[in-house]
């Protein structure tokens, strides 16, 4: 069991999302940074989709009631075990009674706590992800708060607890406060005025404090269509960049709606979604246009990297037996 001593800003149970139900209007939800989420689970021997804890900016305080193995991946939110630095992107042995806390974010805005065996919460429509607006999934459909107790062990996981066996790590991504995000042209790209299309790729935008798991709201040059259009609502995706009437783009994220009627100027390539998810309010972002073929190539490279890390992690544990 895990006991939540403090809830943090927004601490939720997530997996890789609620697939197959968007046609019924059910939001996918899931981890905002799927890459960090998957690696955290692999480090402790879980399946990539095992439920883990997503932590945003101001972290929780969590006490462990049994010896276990954990991994923290994603942004650096200065994690500590009983006051001592807990390294990220590596398996960490935790003893019964130890307490995990977080400090000031030094890179990125979100991290994932995976525990050997996974977080054991009920499946809702084949997923353990929390969708806060509808209060479904996760732990009672809400963010974690003081006094919550989470069961662990619904999945297979490693139970090694020796510090000697966990003194290694995997390479961590670089999370920039000024990333250049690659995008493909959106379905309505050609409907935007020429100067708006130019500004979109030549000027920076900043992340608004009003951003959330549903969307990253951007401030900067206001974008406009060349002429007023009445659009029919259509499907949106993780990374769709909509432009509402106020001209400020919104990058749709994990808790995005299933359809939308605002024009889409671009689509963030899947391989760059983790970089977007790690932005903090005030961070700057620029966009670079790439082809669909290049977007697919980058995704293949990312999946190949995950496969290589998965094999390396397995071989490392086998060598330590």
Q: Please tell me whether residues 188 and 276 are part of one structural domain.
A: yes
**What value does the mean pLDDT of the chain take?**
92
Q: Please tell me whether residues 34 and 164 are part of one structural domain.
A: yes
* DSSP three-state, residue 77: coil
Tell me if 306 is assigned to some domain: no
* Structural domain of 239: 180-290
Q: With the C-alpha atoms ordered 232, 234, 236, 240, is the resulting torsion angle positive or negative?
A: negative
Counted domains in the chain:
2
Q: Please tell me whether residues 123 and 272 are part of one structural domain.
A: no
Q: Please tell me whether residues 76 and 187 are part of one structural domain.
A: no
Q: Please tell me whether residues 213 and 252 are part of one structural domain.
A: yes
Average pLDDT over residues 49-71: 94
**Above 90 in pLDDT, residue 231?**
no
**Above 90 in pLDDT, residue 230?**
no
Q: Model confidence over 109-150: pLDDT tens digits? A: 999 999 999 999 999 999 999 999 999 999 999 999 999 999
What percentage of the chain has pLDDT greater than the value 90?
84
User: Partners of 101 in the beta sheet?
Assistant: 80
Tell me if 224 is assigned to some domain: yes
Buried/exposed code over 46-55 (b: 16+ C-beta within 10 A; e: otherwise) = bebbbbbbbb
Scanning the structure block, which residue is given the tokens 């379905």? 187
Domain with 213 in it: what CATH number? 2.40.100.10
Tell me if 281 is assigned to some domain: yes
Q: Please tell me whether residues 135 and 256 are part of one structural domain.
A: no
Strands (E), 180-311: 180-185, 205-207, 215-219, 234-235, 240-242, 250-252, 259-260, 264-268, 284-289
Tell me if 298 is assigned to some domain: no
pLDDT of residue 232: 87
Token pair belonging to 249:
């783009």
Q: Please tell me whether residues 85 and 205 are part of one structural domain.
A: no
**Above 90 in pLDDT, residue 163?**
no
Q: Please tell me whether residues 115 and 238 are part of one structural domain.
A: no
Closest CA to 49 of 161, 160, 154: 154
* CA–CA gap between residue 242 and residue 264 (Å, rounded): 4
Q: Please tell me whether residues 63 and 152 are part of one structural domain.
A: yes
pLDDT of residue 169: 86
* CA–CA gap between residue 201 and residue 195 (Å, rounded): 10
Tell me if 238 is assigned to some domain: yes
Count Cα neighbours of 37 within 13 Å in the Cβ-side half-sphere: 26
Average pLDDT over residues 75-102: 93
* CA–CA gap between residue 73 and residue 280 (Å, rounded): 17
Tell me if 295 is assigned to some domain: no
**Above 90 in pLDDT, residue 166?**
no
Tell me if 307 is assigned to some domain: no
Tell me if 316 is assigned to some domain: no
């Amino acid at each position: 069991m895990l006991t939540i001593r403090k809830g943090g800003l927004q601490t939720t149970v997530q997996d890789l999302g609620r697939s197959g139900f968007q046609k019924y209007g059910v939001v996918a939800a899931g981890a905002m940074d799927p890459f960090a989420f998957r690696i955290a689970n692999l480090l402790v021997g879980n399946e990539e989709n095992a439920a883990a804890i997503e932590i945003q900016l101001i972290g929780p305080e969590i006490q462990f009631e049994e010896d276990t193995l954990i991994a923290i991946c994603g942004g650096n939110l200065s994690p500590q075990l009983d006051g001592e630095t807990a390294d990220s992107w590596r398996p960490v042995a935790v003893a019964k009674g130890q307490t995990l806390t977080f400090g000031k974010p030094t890179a990125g805005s979100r991290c994932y706590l995976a525990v050997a065996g996974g977080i054991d919460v009920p499946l809702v429509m084949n997923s353990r992800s929390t969708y806060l607006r509808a209060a479904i999934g996760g732990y009672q459909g809400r963010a974690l708060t003081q006094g919550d107790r989470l069961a662990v062990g619904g999945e297979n996981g490693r139970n090694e607890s020796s510090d000697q066996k966990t003194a290694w790590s995997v390479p961590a991504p670089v999370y920039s406060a000024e990333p250049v995000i690659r995008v493909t042209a959106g379905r309505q790209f050609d409907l935007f005025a020429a100067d708006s299309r130019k500004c979109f790729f030549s000027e920076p935008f900043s992340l608004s404090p009003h951003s959330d798991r549903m969307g990253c709201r951007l401030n900067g040059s206001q974008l406009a269509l060349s002429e007023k259009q009445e659009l029919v609502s259509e499907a949106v995706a993780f990374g769709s960049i909509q432009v509402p009437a106020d001209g400020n783009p919104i990058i749709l994220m994990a808790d995005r709606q299933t359809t939308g009627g605002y024009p889409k100027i671009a689509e963030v390539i899947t391989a760059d979604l983790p970089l977007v998810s790690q932005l903090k309010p005030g961070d700057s972002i620029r966009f670079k246009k790439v082809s669909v073929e290049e977007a697919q190539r980058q995704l293949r490279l990312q999946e190949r990297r995950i496969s290589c890390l998965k094999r390396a992690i397995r071989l490392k544990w086998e060598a330590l037996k």
